[in-house]
């Protein structure tokens, strides 16, 4: 365990992978090998060892935090002499495109749902809160899709506010990566969840703009009880992005309904050139300008090595 050096300050305790892995003694790995395979993302190898050594201890920590929140709700009811409605524990998940945060979110959802005191765990991605393509085109920011201004942040804030207000049933828009747009008239319905994981590249961002008239001066992250940032060296993320693009060229892009079907016939060299240009002009710029600066707002940072496995865990001191 690494603390700050004398005379310096760090808000985090750093635990190497081996030490972190020891923090769930006696816990049985609840996921099967087939379940783990289904959870892994494109060009990622998610091993049973990774789940046991990294994500199982994380689920135990989050279980402890969620239980403490549930206990606080109970004692508050005692104090108020009334039964108030329990609101969900909300976990924010941030990180770059292609860093593997979606896989991390799915694994955490699967593990947390196995704990008996919070079996109903929902996962919401902020892609659903992107403006539809026609709106982005009207605004002239189609080439900045994924940047803060491309999201309907007011809608996302209202969604989170409803969750934290105890609204019994809330809905979120649904996004299709195949058609690269919001699916009209399709919604994700969430009914009285115990935990909600909100995953997106910039959920830890702050803005000086008032996002809603009804709920002024709040950020998306104000609704989070706990937040996680999935981190890696930018060169590694670039490599993962290129390999993912090449894989999609041979799979999803082959679908005639794919927004990116024009890339389906690219050679390896052409695919690398196109993906590199998209990375430089959009994803890398967004990472440095908007995503990476939010890293140290997270409660926990998962630091990955070049093989997608977590090497260090940084936990904010309490």
CATH number of the domain to which 17 belongs: 3.40.50.300
Give the Å distances, CA to CA, from 315 to 62, 158, 277, 288. Answer: 12, 29, 35, 23
210 falls within a domain: yes
Angle, CA of 21, 26 and 30, to the nearest 5°: 85
133 falls within a domain: yes
**Domain extent for 312:** 12-316
pLDDT of 24 = 85
Angle, CA of 230, 235 and 240, to the nearest 5°: 65
If DSSP codes are grouped into helix, strand and coil, which group holds residue 188? strand
136 falls within a domain: yes
Domains: count for the chain: 1
**pLDDT (mean) for 179-190:** 96
Selection from 47, 132, 136, 98 nearest residue 248 by Cα? 98
pLDDT one-digit tens code per residue, 105-162: 999 999 999 998 889 999 999 999 999 999 999 999 999 999 999 999 999 999 999 9
7 falls within a domain: no
Residues 6+ apart with CB under 8 A from 102: 41, 125, 199
* Predicted TM-score (pTM) of this structure: 0.93
1 falls within a domain: no
pLDDT of 208 = 53
6 falls within a domain: no
How many angstroms separate the CA atoms of 125 and 133, rounded? 17
4 falls within a domain: no
pLDDT one-digit tens code per residue, 75-113: 998 999 888 888 999 999 999 999 999 999 999 999 999
Strand partners, 308: none
112 falls within a domain: yes
């Amino acid at each position: 365990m690494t603390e700050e050096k004398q005379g310096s300050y760090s808000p985090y305790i750093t635990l190497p992978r081996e030490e972190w892995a020891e923090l769930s003694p006696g816990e049985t790995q609840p996921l099967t090998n087939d379940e783990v395979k289904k959870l892994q993302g494109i060009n990622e190898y998610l091993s049973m060892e990774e789940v046991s050594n990294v994500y199982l201890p994380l689920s135990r920590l989050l279980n402890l935090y969620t239980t403490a929140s549930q206990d606080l709700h109970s004692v508050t009811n005692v104090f108020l002499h009334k039964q108030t409605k329990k609101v969900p524990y909300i976990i924010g998940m941030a990180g770059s495109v292609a860093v593997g945060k979606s896989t991390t979110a799915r694994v955490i959802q699967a593990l947390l749902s196995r704990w008996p005191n919070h079996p109903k765990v929902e996962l919401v991605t902020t892609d659903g809160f992107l403006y539809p393509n026609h709106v982005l085109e009207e605004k002239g920011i189609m080439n900045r899709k994924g940047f803060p201004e491309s999201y309907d942040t007011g809608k996302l804030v209202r969604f989170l506010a409803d969750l934290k207000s105890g609204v019994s049933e809330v809905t979120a828009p649904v996004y299709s990566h195949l058609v690269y747009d919001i699916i009209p008239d399709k919604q994700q319905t969430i009914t009285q969840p115990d935990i909600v994981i909100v995953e997106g590249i910039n959920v830890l961002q702050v803005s000086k703009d008032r996002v809603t008239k009804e709920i002024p001066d709040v950020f998306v992250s104000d609704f989070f009880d706990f937040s996680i940032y999935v981190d890696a060296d930018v060169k590694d993320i670039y490599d993962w992005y290129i390999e993912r693009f090449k894989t999609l060229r041979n799979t999803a892009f082959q679908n005639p309904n794919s927004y990116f079907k024009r890339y389906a016939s690219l050679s390896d060299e052409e695919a690398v050139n196109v993906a590199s240009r998209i990375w430089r002009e959009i994803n890398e710029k967004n990472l440095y300008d908007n995503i990476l600066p939010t890293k140290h707002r997270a409660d926990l940072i998962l630091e990955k090595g070049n093989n997608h496995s977590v090497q260090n865990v940084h936990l904010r001191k309490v």
